[in-house]
Structure 1
Amino acid sequence: MNPGQAVSEARGSRGRARVVHAVVVVFLEFFAWGLLTAPILTVVHETFPQHTFLMNGLVHGVKGFLSFLSAPLIGALSDVWGRKSFLLLTVFFTCSPIPFMRIHPWLYFALISVSGIFAVTFSVIFAYVADITEEHERSMAYGLVSATFAASLVTSPAIGAFLTARYGDSMAVLVATVIAVADIAFVFFVVPESLPEKARLTSWGRPITWEQADPFASLRRVGKDSSVLLICVTVFLSYLPEAGQYSSFFLYLKQVSQFSPEAIAAFIAMVGVLSIIAQTVLLSVLMRTIGNKNSVLLGLCFQVLQLSWYGLGSEPWMMWAAGTIAAMSSLTFPAISTLVSHCASAEQQGVVQGMITGIRGLCNGLGPALFGFIFFLFDVELSNVQPPTSRDAVTKSAVPGPPFLLGAFSVTLALIVAAFIPENRQLLEEETSPDNVPGPASTNVALPLATPTSESEDIQPLLQGSM
């Protein structure tokens, strides 16, 4: 059997799995969290009345660091035992803190922190999509998944704000809990496995080595290949400020620009609609016209402009204008994920995506803590929960958002690094030989390395990062 027949046969054996399954899982998870946009602003301030930005950053810093530690192991295990069971775990633990928001806020924040162990939904989702799509289809599929995240935020914050205003925070939390349970049930009862049964059954007895589970070993492996190193440094430098921004941005809008919960919901909806357009129609066009690498560079340029505007702007109209640019910067991670998926073999998708998600997890640990500490140093605090009645009541600063300017500098460095990424290069060549592959390689099917082409993410994601 030649390699092409092997790939076709492997894909045929899991034909029931569809990209739509991944889309529904992502949509329900982040729709549930979107409903809590208004309640979370109150809960954070009530729980941490002193140094709100700093404590919020530390909570999400712990969560992100735990994600960094666990992502390589979950990615490797999903390559061996299948995606569905780990998708179920990640969705369950990501959503488990929701009902405790009003029951016991301190327990809620504790669960938010420890949920980072399994809060790597996008790592498993991207590997799931890679299992069931051909290489030329993958960029569109990744863009669709990322756009679905944005779509889930188009209406959910507004609905959550309405429920909170009409019935109180408890009703919004209850509805979010019901949707989270529905998502878990959907994964358990409806989502099919994407890996072929033969590969999973023959792999149960194969152990997972410490080398595969050790996140720092993943970092050491990154350094052995110059192309992988450049990609991962780009991810780190660009996602570090993004993670910090996501953990504090809604609080920042309320404090500096005096956005009401309704205005925040409208802002998220606008960015969500524009991100859908950017990550579906625009991303596909860019991949065909300027190529994968140039799409990454363009997304990074928009990110620099967005962060600079956030850092220097204090008027509401400035935030709205920067939000349109934020939608364009959402192109970056789907383009990077596509680049990586094109450069790794089919049986290594979980490990490779786990490696990138591990870098993002490290940023999810460092970014929020860094932003919270810088806000603390510059004495930027959430002084009240309700927006002030007068703009004159707020003392304006020449630089209202110092962490965002630091983030713009970091992304500028990422842009310089990304310029040196080669466009045609096979990655992880030593990792993908049959002797080194822990999962489907045991079926004796020789799956070739995919070569990068000019065609094409949690995100972890705007809202989850802020929770």
Structure 2
Amino acid sequence: MPQGIGSPSVYHAVIVIFLEFFAWGLLTAPTLMVLRETFPKHTFLMNGLIQGVKGLLSFLSAPLIGALSDVWGRKSFLLLTVFFTCAPIPLMKISPWWYFAVISVSGVFAVTFSVVFAYVADITQEHERSMAYGLVSATFAASLVTSPAIGAYLGRVYGNSLVVVLATAIALLDICFILVAVPESLPEKMRPASWGAPISWEQADPFASLKKVGQDSVVLLICITVFLSYLPEAGQYSSFFLYLRQIMGFSPESVAAFIAVLGILSIIAQTIVLSLLMRSIGNKNTILLGLGFQILQLAWYGFGSEPWMMWAAGAVAAMSSITFPAVSALVSRTADADQQGVVQGMITGIRGLCNGLGPALYGFIFYIFHVELDELPMTETELGSNMAPRHHSQQNSIIPGPPFLFGACSVLLALLVALFIPEHTNLNIRSSNWKKHSGGHGHPHSPQAPGEAKEPLLQDTNV
């Protein structure tokens, strides 16, 4: 492969992430439309199953792809993951059934963040890494601030075919950028020596980090908190925009505007507000405050029956986004230097598991509460207008969004568990096998790489 342009930098990784998720952001409104037209009777159930299968496959494959990239280099796996993640895009207009089938299967390779974080770890020092990861995560949010609105506008004015063509072109641009401009971050002197190195099952085992959870009581409490709070969050991400569009009566433009506002508020919350809270009330209290906002947000979504309630709850949702950065900071501050990758790998492993279970759980709860659409699919012209369908029994229902209320109960349990997490402690995870593996295959300039390459801190999603 070509060596790329310049030396490896965080900006190469940022451009790769931005182009990939900008392409998928353009398809937000068309995807919701095609989903409803393809599965008119069981829209939420099928959406949950599709996203659930994709999430579970990503959870299972991320450690293996991360381990292989340690041996064969990052550039080739950036190309592989971006190509297969974006492969379903042109199928949207060719065959919706193939489109959703390929989306599910593409979960095996939809782990671009895993490779990107390993790429960043190769080229940054330990004290620079948190800022670099923050830049990558902010780029992900920024790519979704404008792209859904642009896609909704182009779809309404010129039709969804143009949106699909534009998204495909941007995905191809991303692939070409990796081929031509992205240099390999793994040092050349390490690659030839590693070609014949065996990859142990522990290195590729997605459950390896989860097996260490019970070895420290504080880690166990943190992992339970993350599981109970991120399970509803993962389910919410998979179905909420469909819920706004089909049940709450949002137009495609309103959904795009909602995503943009929520993205901007989340960026502010995770930077300025989080920094102020960490300094003023402490790490643990920041986690508790974030969980409290999440409970309020989910309860508001569950009982809300008017569009303005969704907008108000969205502002609360932005504040709830401070929880996971605060948890990561707590773990990073209390774990020993040689155990950072192990503990962070546990947390991100829990999140990866939730990305598979959450969407399926939400889809199933929507299904058993009969929150579906009985009307026939609308035409593309009708869907482009502001007259969106509403569920016939929504106004008669006490709980319009049952899964969100379930999520609020789950986060309430997480809040109760988090109360027992000590503010100051030293995590002590004995993992000789992990350290042995790290010494054999890890990179001396990248002490966190084993844990970080196993699972991304921010999961891939096609919306």
Structure 1 length-normalised TM: 0.84
Aligned partner of 1:6 in structure 2 is none
Aligned partners of 1:313 and 1:400 also within 8 Å: yes
Matched, 1:72 2:73: no
Aligned partner of 1:460 in structure 2 is 459
Equivalent pairs: percent with the same residue?
A: 69
Name which of 357, 363, 371 aligns with 1:380. Answer: 371
Name which of 129, 144, 148 aligns with 1:157. Answer: 148
Matched, 1:120 2:120: no
Matched, 1:215 2:214: no
Aligned partner of 1:400 in structure 2 is 400
Aligned partner of 1:175 in structure 2 is 166
Matched, 1:436 2:437: yes
> For structure 1, which segment, 333-342 or 34-43, has the greater mean C-alpha deviation from structure 2 after superposition?
333-342
Q: Distance in 2 between matches of 1:449 and 1:393?
A: 52
Deviations 1:223-264 (A, max 9, x none): 334444333323222221111111111111123321011111
Matched, 1:86 2:77: yes
Taking a change above 3 Å as real, the CA distance of residues 65 and 19 of structure 1, as seen in their structure-2 partners, is same
Q: Secondary structure at the match of 2:314?
A: helix
Aligned partners of 1:347 and 1:439 also within 8 Å: no
Letter in 1 for 2:78: L
Deviations 1:371-416 (A, max 9, x none): 1111111111134554647989764121101100111111222233
Q: Aligned-pair distance for 1:181?
A: 1.5
Q: Distance in 1 between matches of 2:98 and 2:345?
A: 29
| Structure 2: 5+ residue stretches without partners | 1-5, 450-455
Taking a change above 3 Å as real, the CA distance of residues 337 and 70 of structure 1, as seen in their structure-2 partners, is farther
Letter in 2 for 1:212: Q
Aligned partner of 1:11 in structure 2 is none
Letter in 1 for 2:404: F
The 5 A counterparts of 1:331-346 are 331-339=322-330, 343=335
Aligned partners of 2:248 and 2:390 also within 8 Å: no
Q: Secondary structure at the match of 1:202?
A: helix
Deviations 1:339-375 (A, max 9, x none): 55664768984x7665544332321221111111111
The 5 A counterparts of 1:127-142 are 127-142=118-133
Aligned partner of 1:3 in structure 2 is none
Aligned partner of 1:19 in structure 2 is 10
> For structure 1, which segment, 196-205 or 29-38, has the greater mean C-alpha deviation from structure 2 after superposition?
196-205
Q: Secondary structure at the match of 1:73?
A: helix
Q: Secondary structure at the match of 2:56?
A: helix
Aligned partners of 1:431 and 1:437 also within 8 Å: no
Q: Distance in 2 between matches of 1:105 and 1:189?
A: 32
Matched, 1:418 2:418: yes
Q: Aligned-pair distance for 1:108?
A: 0.8
Aligned partners of 1:227 and 1:427 also within 8 Å: no
Q: Distance in 1 between matches of 2:446 and 2:433?
A: 9
Name which of 358, 363, 369 aligns with 1:367. Answer: 358
Aligned partners of 2:126 and 2:446 also within 8 Å: no
Structure 2 length-normalised TM: 0.85
> For structure 1, which segment, 75-84 or 372-381, has the greater mean C-alpha deviation from structure 2 after superposition?
75-84
The 5 A counterparts of 1:264-279 are 264-279=255-270
Aligned partner of 1:323 in structure 2 is 314
| Structure 1: 5+ residue stretches without partners | 1-14, 451-456
Aligned partners of 2:266 and 2:321 also within 8 Å: yes
Taking a change above 3 Å as real, the CA distance of residues 153 and 465 of structure 1, as seen in their structure-2 partners, is same
> For structure 1, which segment, 248-257 or 315-324, has the greater mean C-alpha deviation from structure 2 after superposition?
248-257
Matched, 1:245 2:246: no
Aligned-residue Cα RMSD (Å) equals 3.1
Name which of 2, 19, 22 aligns with 1:28. Answer: 19
Letter in 1 for 2:23: A
Matched, 1:203 2:194: yes
Deviations 1:400-443 (A, max 9, x none): 011001111112222333344454435645348763325555x7
Taking a change above 3 Å as real, the CA distance of residues 449 and 211 of structure 1, as seen in their structure-2 partners, is closer
Q: Distance in 2 between matches of 1:249 and 1:365?
A: 16
Q: Secondary structure at the match of 1:49?
A: coil
Q: Distance in 2 between matches of 1:258 and 1:170?
A: 24
> For structure 1, which segment, 92-101 or 216-225, has the greater mean C-alpha deviation from structure 2 after superposition?
216-225
Taking a change above 3 Å as real, the CA distance of residues 395 and 270 of structure 1, as seen in their structure-2 partners, is same
Deviations 1:199-229 (A, max 9, x none): 4443332211112222233322333344443
Aligned partner of 2:3 in structure 1 is none
**Count of aligned residue pairs for this structure pair:** 441
> For structure 1, which segment, 212-221 or 416-425, has the greater mean C-alpha deviation from structure 2 after superposition?
416-425
Aligned partner of 1:453 in structure 2 is none
